[in-house]
Chain A
């Protein structure tokens, strides 16, 4: 489950699309989720108002983040919650390990937390001989298969029910060949109930942390976060610094946007508001930076910190849908992952901002109005500038930028390009032109739009 980057996005995607039927199925499945989102969104007349509010609340919060973090800490401590601060992934994992060791705990359940995936917590603890049981159904499936989640909301979306059936047959001894999702889910329910009931420590993520109240909200459909958190003697919630919102009333905006954007539901089944530990329980929050304060300082990219991890941008992205989450070789894949990951490690993730057609669909669906496709474009400039792209791509990009910035040359290049494509198409369709891979070069029009416009504008 570690972050094994052996291939860049394009190479991994090439392997993914070899199975055409499966690629089509993956594409259709995610498009189905996108359509459910559209249906839910169209039912809300004030959708654009909500997006605008959400965007402004997040912009405001980021512009006052230090004060909100200290206000949250103060209030949470007054509520009896212990606060820890982690500068990076390693410190987060060490803090968690320390809590586990202090209580000599071995039975640990974890609900979905993309932050702990980002920090590779499970791997870290495994090396210390500690096993964590993931309890979100999709996460449990991929955990049993020793894989990473391929999607932040639907972790096992890359798998078919036959795959799940085989995995469960091997690990949970379900009937061989029984692919019925109802049957398989019931088997997981029984299997995980045993773990819940005996759990000593529960790890959860945080969807929203409220500065004013010092409490936090966790959203699930399965009820797994609650099953763990209300059973275990110790609850550790992990959050990035950007999860803060100022007031409880702002939840009335975000909870309306989150589930509709994610799966097309009006709200998640459970929106749990944790305020204080229950009597006799210990509650901890680990607040993690891991590159976020650095991103806050990058004016072009800071508003990526507004993300509420709904995955709408994944489901709509033609590149994600046809290359699969694992091609992105990072915990958070998809368009937003391609903005967040270069901040963490520009060299290792230099390929990701190029895994996009820049069609802009991501920015259109984003419930907090992040200008995702524009940031992808900006990252490309930065990455080229810093020298992290392969020479072919760099030459092509530099050439394109030069052509685009010179109107006369642009028109001349277009003309000669059209002439070349018409008379010598084999020159475009060769190995040197990486764009031609997997694509038919378009038939060249005889006339450019510009020429056509010049001829026709006075007609």
Chain B
């Protein structure tokens, strides 16, 4: 018998009688009167920055300014360069700032969801030094239950919830921002 067959057969023999799967519902869960305030409060408490913008043109200008100053800026909010897809870690390692559009934000935990299509390259949101996310206020949901109702995680090959900059507390429980991923995260609410 192959290991596969052995494992499955032992599971069949040893599993207990079938137990029902619970029905999840949003009814029992906390909803927030002010989702924006909650999102901002939580994200700031975990090291992220939240900036409310009048209009998205401000982001465009910011990108232009940083590009002019010689920084390597990758923007997938306004247009995705096809070449990004095939770029390697050696190319992306030099990216100072990455601007990405998120699908939705979660008030309860300050996270945002990104599909692979919004990243241009899976590695980009992790390897860039500083990450900037554009999020429409209207996409904020209360909690993770609602988030999964809205998302279809099979839509692209990869997707991620990001909540704040990369961090670690592995040295004596001292929080250090900027472990292996982005050193900072700013969410622009529009």
Which residues of A have CB within 8 Å of B12?
A: 66
Taking CB atoms, residues of chain B closer than 8 Å to A62 are 15-16, 19
Query: Is B70 on the interface with A (CB-CB < 8 A)?
Result: no
Pick the contact of A136: B6, B24, B170, B181 (CB < 8 A): B170
Is the interface on chain B under 10, 10 to 19, 20 to 34, or 35 or more residues? Answer: 35 or more
| Known contacts A63-B17, A185-B168, A293-B10; A255/B144 CB under 8 A | yes
Cβ of B127 within 8 Å of any chain A Cβ, yes or no, is: yes
Instruction: List chain B positions with a Cβ less than 8 A from chain A.
Output: 2-4, 6-8, 10-22, 24, 28-30, 42, 46, 85, 88-90, 93, 106, 108-111, 116, 121-123, 126-127, 143-145, 147-149, 151, 153-154, 156-174, 176, 178-182
In the complex with contacts A189-B178, A296-B11, A266-B21 CB distance below 8 A: no
**Cα–Cα distance between A293 and B11 once the two chains are bound (Å):** 6
Contact present for A85 and B180 (CB under 8 Å): no
Q: Closest approach, in angstroms, between the C-beta of A67 and any C-beta of chain B?
A: 9
Q: Please, how many angstroms separate the alpha-carbon atoms of A32 and B42 in the complex? A: 20
Q: List 24 A-B contacts (CB under 8 A).
A: A29-B172, A65-B15, A66-B8, A69-B8, A137-B170, A137-B179, A154-B170, A161-B172, A210-B153, A223-B182, A230-B126, A231-B88, A250-B24, A267-B163, A270-B126, A272-B160, A275-B157, A275-B159, A276-B157, A276-B158, A289-B7, A297-B10, A297-B14, A302-B16
Residue in B closest to A157 when the chains form the complex, CB atoms: B173
9 nearest CB pairs, A to B: A223-B181, A297-B14, A276-B157, A222-B179, A266-B109, A138-B170, A293-B10, A252-B144, A85-B4
A57 contacts B148, C-beta separation under 8 Å: no
Known: A185-B170, A255-B144, A275-B153. 20 other contacts (CB 8 A): A29-B173, A56-B20, A60-B20, A154-B173, A159-B172, A210-B153, A215-B154, A250-B24, A252-B24, A256-B143, A269-B164, A269-B166, A270-B161, A270-B166, A270-B181, A272-B159, A273-B153, A277-B157, A293-B11, A296-B11
- On whether A213 and B24 interact (CB within 8 A), knowing A164-B171, A251-B148, A296-B15, the answer reads no
> A267 and B111 in contact (CB under 8 A), knowing A65-B11, A249-B148?
yes
Please state if A269 and B163 are interface contacts (CB–CB under 8 Å).
Answer: yes
The reply on A304 being an interface residue by CB < 8 A is: no
A269 in contact with B170 given A46-B28, A231-B89, A249-B24 (CB within 8 Å): no
Complex contact A213–B153 (CB within 8 A) = yes
User: A91 vs B4: C-alpha distance in the bound complex, in angstroms?
Assistant: 12
CB distance A278 to B170 under 8 Å? Answer: no
Once bound together, how far apart are the Cα atoms of A407 and B29, in whole Å? 47
Contact of A271 with B179 at beta-carbon distance under 8 Å, contacts A252-B24, A289-B3, A299-B16 already known:
no
Q: Point out which of B18, B19, B126, B143 has the most chain A C-beta atoms below 10 A from its C-beta.
A: B126
Question: Cβ of A246 < 8 Å from any Cβ of B?
Answer: yes
- Alpha-carbon distance A44/B161, docked complex (angstroms): 20
Residue among B21, B88, B168 facing the most chain A CB atoms (10 A cut-off): B168
When chains A and B are docked, how far (Å) is the Cα of A204 from the Cα of B36? 34
